[in-house]
Chain A
Amino acid sequence: MAHAPTRSRKPTDLNKGQILPVLFFILALIPQGVVAQVYGSSFHNVTVTVATVNIVQASAAVVSLTIGPADVTAGVDLMGPVTNSATSLLWGFNSSLRKVTVRTNLAAPKFILKVLCVTPSQGTASPEVTLSTTAADFLINTGRSSGTCTIRYSGTALASAGTGTDSHTITFTVAAQ
C-alpha cells in the first residue's frame, strides 16, 4: 500500500494562527518615535511680533560745568564759554523718520546753557540749542537706525547774573518727525 508523501513538520514552524500575535508583539517593541518619523507629521505656527522700539540713553547720568576766573576776560561781559563733551547719546529706533528733542526742567536759569549733537553716526545734528523748558530739536532725520553722538554742553554767564549754581535735568526724547 502506497502512502502519499507527506511534508514533515519541524517543531519551530508556526501556523497562521500563531504568526499574527507574534507580528503584533514585534511591532509593539518598535519605539513610537521611529513610527512617527516614518509615518507621522506634525506642525506648529511660530509668530514673531516686533513692537515699536524707541530707545535713547545717555552714557552718563551726571555732567558738570564750572565757570571760574580762568574763563573770564576783563572788559568782556560774557564769561566763558566752558564746554563739556564727556558724554554721549545712544539711540535705537525701528520706525521711520524719528528725531530726538532736548529740553531742561529749569524754567528760569541764571546762566546760559547750550547743547549740540556732535558727529552723529546717523541722522543730522540740529544747530546748537539754547536750553529751555520747550523741547527743541537735537537730532533729526533718523529712521530705523541705531547710533550715537557726542553731547556737547556749553555754558556762559553774564557778569550781571552774579554767582551761583544752576541745576538742570536735561531730557532727551524720541519723537516723530
Chain B
Amino acid sequence: MNRREQHIATAVRRLAVLSLLAVASAFGQEASTNQTLTLQVFETNKIDINQRAVTLVINQASLETGSPIEATNEDGNLIWITNGENKKITVASNNAAPRFLVKVNALDITGSSGVAAPEVTLNDNTTKDFVVGVSRTWGKCKIRFVASAKVADGVGTETHLITYTITGG
C-alpha cells in the first residue's frame, strides 16, 4: 500500500468513527417523545326511572265528607345527569282527558341538582315542568303521585303513560 492509499484509508477510518459518534450522539439526545391527545366531551342528557309501573288504588272514603280518600305513591325515583347548561325536567301524560285526578311532584331532590316545580296536575296531555334549574349536574328525586276522585266520577281504571324529559330550560 503506497502512501497515498494509506492516507485514504486513514481518512475513511476517521470518517467512520466520526459518523458513528454523531449517530450515537443523536440517539442519546432523543430522550423524550410527544403525543398529541384530544379528549372531547359532547353535551349529554340522560334521565331514567327505577320503577316502570306504579299503581294507585282509591278504595276508601272519608267518613266525615263521604268523599274518596286520595291515594299516594312515592315508590318511584327519577335519576338524571346533564353536562349542559340551563336544563329542566318536564313531565307529561298521554291521557288527554282523564276522569280521575292525578297530581305529581318531585320530592327530596339530591344536593343542588335542581329545584322542584310546584305540584303538577296531569289533567291533559300537555308537558309541564317537574324540576327546573338543572345545569351541569346529576341528581335524583322521589316521584310523588297523588290520585283522587269525586263520588260523581264513579269507579273504573285509568292508565297514564308518564314521560319525563330533560330538555332546554
Contacts and interface: CB of A to CB of B under 8 A. Distances in A.
Interface of A: 32, 36, 42, 44, 46-58, 60-69, 71-77, 79, 87, 89, 92, 104, 109-111, 113, 151, 153, 155, 157, 159-175
Given A36-B1, A44-B13, A62-B35, A75 B136 contact: no
B58 interface: no
A86 B28 CA distance: 27
A69 B44 contact: yes
B100 interface: no
B63 interface: no
A51 B24 contact: yes
17 contacts: A36-B1, A44-B9, A51-B28, A53-B27, A54-B27, A62-B36, A64-B37, A74-B48, A75-B79, A109-B39, A159-B138, A160-B137, A166-B38, A166-B39, A167-B37, A171-B33, A172-B35
Contacts of A42: 1
Interface residues of B, number: 43
Contacts of B139: 75
A173 B42 CA distance: 32
Interface string B137-169: 111100000000000000000000000000000
Contact of B83 (A49, A55, A89, A162): A162
B61 interface: no
B25 interface: yes
Q: Considering the complex of A and B, which 6 residue pairs feature the smallest CB-CB distances, nearest first?
A: A75-B79, A51-B24, A74-B48, A74-B46, A173-B32, A54-B31
Given A61-B34, A160-B136, A173-B32, 5 more contacts: A61-B36, A65-B39, A68-B42, A170-B36, A172-B34
B152 to A, nearest CB: 41
Nearest to B110: A75
Contacts, number: 176
A169 B34 contact: yes
A42 B5 CA distance: 13
Interface of B: 1-2, 9-10, 13, 17, 20-21, 24-25, 27-28, 30-48, 79-85, 136-140
B6 to A, nearest CB: 8
A137 B85 CA distance: 37
B41 A157 contact: yes
A72 B1 contact: no
B51 to A, nearest CB: 14
Contact of B39 (A44, A46, A155): A155
A158 to B, nearest CB: 8
Contact of A173 (B31, B48, B81): B31
User: In the complex, which of the residues A44, A79, A110 has the most CB atoms of chain B within 10 Å of its own CB atom?
Assistant: A79
B107 to A, nearest CB: 16
B40 A65 contact: yes
A148 to B, nearest CB: 13
